[in-house]
Amino acid sequence: MRTIQNERMLGEIDISQIKIDVKSRDDIPQILRGIQYLYTNEETRNKLFIALERAMPSNIDKNNGRPGMTLWRVFVLGVLRLNLNCDYDRLHSLANNYKTVREMLGHGAFDEEYYYELQTLKDNVRLLTPEVLDKINHVVVDEGHKLLKKKELPA
């Protein structure tokens, strides 16, 4: 599976530039802000992709992947599903209808017609087994510790 689109599509927003409502008390924007932070830290992003690549079944062609799903998209949707404790029907709705989630998945203004099939989501997101999520969790926790250490340093 490809990790992420190599080139941005016309109208696609760089993930670091996605505007997320920081005043929202809903859980989705908070989760997306965390994902955005992980993406913008290149070292952490690389560690995440390594963990994801190692987790993918060997019979999957890493150059082609599954229809419409890069490792980044699998990661974003898997994090949303886990943190929202939602079923695939809600995840399906978020992936197809929630503007900020679609931007985080790498869809731009001219990619509005792209539609995730429910079965595609199920086939890909289920690859994030508890073992894979545990490895990803270690990467995220390590980054959190680094971030806290930076904040504790005197200015």
Question: Residue 147: which pLDDT band, with cuts at 50, 70 and 90?
Answer: confident
Residue 57: both structure tokens together: 């079944």
Q: Note the pLDDT tens digit of each residue in 106-129.
A: 988 777 788 999 999 999 999 888
Residue 40: both structure tokens together: 């913008």
Flag whether pLDDT at 64 surpasses 60. no
Q: Please report the pLDDT score of residue 61 as a whole number.
A: 62
| pTM for the structure as a whole | 0.83
Q: At what angle do helices 27-40 and 71-84 cross, to 10 degrees?
A: 150
Q: Which residue from 83, 74, 105, 76 is spatially nearest to 9, judged by alpha carbons? A: 105
From the DSSP assignment, how many helices (H) and strands (E) are in the chain? 7, 0
Q: Please report the pLDDT score of residue 88 as a whole number.
A: 98
The whole-angstrom separation of Cα 133 and Cα 127 is 10
Question: Residue 1: which pLDDT band, with cuts at 50, 70 and 90?
Answer: very low
Are residues 123 and 88 in contact, defined by beta-carbon separation less than 8 angstroms?
no
- CA angle, 104 as apex, 101 and 108 as ends, to 5°? 95
Cα torsion 94, 99, 105, 110: sign: positive
Alpha-carbon 16 to chain mean position: 13
Q: Please report the pLDDT score of residue 52 as a whole number.
A: 86
The neighbouring-strand residues paired with 66 are: 69
Residue 129: both structure tokens together: 């087994």
The whole-angstrom separation of Cα 115 and Cα 102 is 10
